[in-house]
A = this chain, B = another copy of it.
Amino acid sequence: MLAEIITIGDEILIGQIVDTNSAYISKELNKIGVKVYQITSVQDDRDHILQAFEDAKKHADLVIVTGGLGPTKDDITKQTFCDFFEDVLVEDKSVIENVAQLFKKYQLNKPLPANFQQAMVPSKATVLMNQYGTAPGMWLEKDKVVFVSLPGVPYEMKHLMQEEVLPRVIKRFNRPHIYHKTLLTYGLGESAIAERIANWEDNLPNTIKLAYLPSLGKVRLRLSSTGNNETLLKERIDSQMEVLSNMLSDIAVGFEDETSIVDRIAHILNQKNQTLSLAESCSGGAIVKQITSEAGISSFFLGSIVPYKTELKTKLLGVPTTLIKEHTVVSIEVAESMAANCCKLFNTDYSIATTGIAGPTKGDAVDEVGTVCIAIAAPSGVVSEKFSFGNDRFRVIEKTTNKALEMLLKEISKN
């Protein structure tokens, strides 16, 4: 079965916000065997929305619409649903009751507005109660195609997907199985990987699709297959994935969804009962943010220092001023000293240290913008490397983060 996603909002079409809702909805539908045929972003405009509804209905069994349900006046989605379904808006008492409960829960001491627009829904709609906001979701059907309307606020949309939409879709539609497995690799480019696995790729059965997903120092390789027999699908993909990961064992980090690089690092450090700290200069907190974004890291991660100013490298981390003078602050020597001293300060087994010039200007630095030194301090000693990561600040920080985690993983994986 096929689904389409329609996101409504001028803010998307003028580039003011990035549409993250579609990616979330696609991923969740995919997990339950629903293939997304197309994603369409349209304006807050009645005729345009109606046209998108008509087009989607041609291909899809399920159309999920987000956005255009806020309490304020720029939203016209609900009225357009009425036009499309030849329906009228009626007041739904359960929505009023739900919002009153929410107000009470969050101790908002104010009465509901007299003319409470959020409680007005198309009479033919099944209301999907929103436990985290005032705009309800809606489930409507026309010529056997199901239309679902969800608020655009990601948090509310996600809860409605999990609690209301997915269970109803599972009940309502027969779906095949879709199985993906994605190998995460670090350190080799897309073309180089393609060259190495060309023979194998040429001989892949046509029931299996391979996709390359490159981004800043990492390449993800996805194998996909669709069918009715879940066990067979899994076997088919898993056996090919085993061949692939063996061919790429020197650059493979693990499988995505199962594991991120931080997961892999956490797993190994927890197993060894070892710990980690960070001293980030040019990466400016990007590594610590990536680590602390994942839950359950306090077992091995102790903390981080961002000594952005040069003198703080000396004051907080004890990097000798003579070393900085002799080699400059962006040097292998300073990175190694930062990493070794960071281990001592935090009393950890491992430390990552970064120092470099993220740009856009080089200030009074000797090296060019994009020069970055990364050091990993380990019980066995300190390793380090110097890189040129180009002249784009955002990319320099991203590449430093990816490379540093890759280097750490390599070190902690030894014996």
A: which residues have CB within 8 A of B? 10-20, 22-30, 35-44, 48, 52, 55, 70-74, 113, 134, 153, 155, 178, 180, 182, 190-191, 194-195, 201, 209-215, 220, 222, 224, 278, 284-289, 291-293, 295-296, 298, 301-309, 312, 316, 345-346, 358-361, 363, 392-395, 397
A295 and chain B: residue at smallest CB distance: B360
Chain B residues in 8 Å Cβ range of A13: 26, 35-39
Interface contact B43-A37, CB-CB below 8 Å? yes
- Partner of A285 from B55, B304, B395 at Cβ < 8 Å: B304
Interface contact A23-B30, CB-CB below 8 Å? no
- Partner of A182 from B16, B30, B293, B308 at Cβ < 8 Å: B16
Interface contact A304-B293, CB-CB below 8 Å? no
A194 and chain B: residue at smallest CB distance: B72
Which of A16, A35, A395 neighbours the largest number of chain B CB atoms within 10 Å of its CB?
Answer: A16
Interface of A is mostly: mixed
Interface contact B23-A12, CB-CB below 8 Å? yes
CA distance A18 to B36 in the complex (A): 14
28 intermolecular pairs with C-beta atoms under 8 Å apart? A12-B39, A13-B35, A14-B26, A14-B36, A16-B23, A16-B220, A19-B22, A37-B43, A37-B48, A38-B40, A38-B43, A38-B48, A40-B40, A74-B211, A155-B395, A278-B306, A284-B293, A285-B285, A285-B288, A286-B292, A289-B289, A292-B358, A295-B359, A295-B360, A295-B361, A303-B306, A303-B316, A304-B304
- Partner of A308 from B44, B287, B303 at Cβ < 8 Å: B303
Interface contact B10-A211, CB-CB below 8 Å? yes
CA distance A305 to B302 in the complex (A): 11
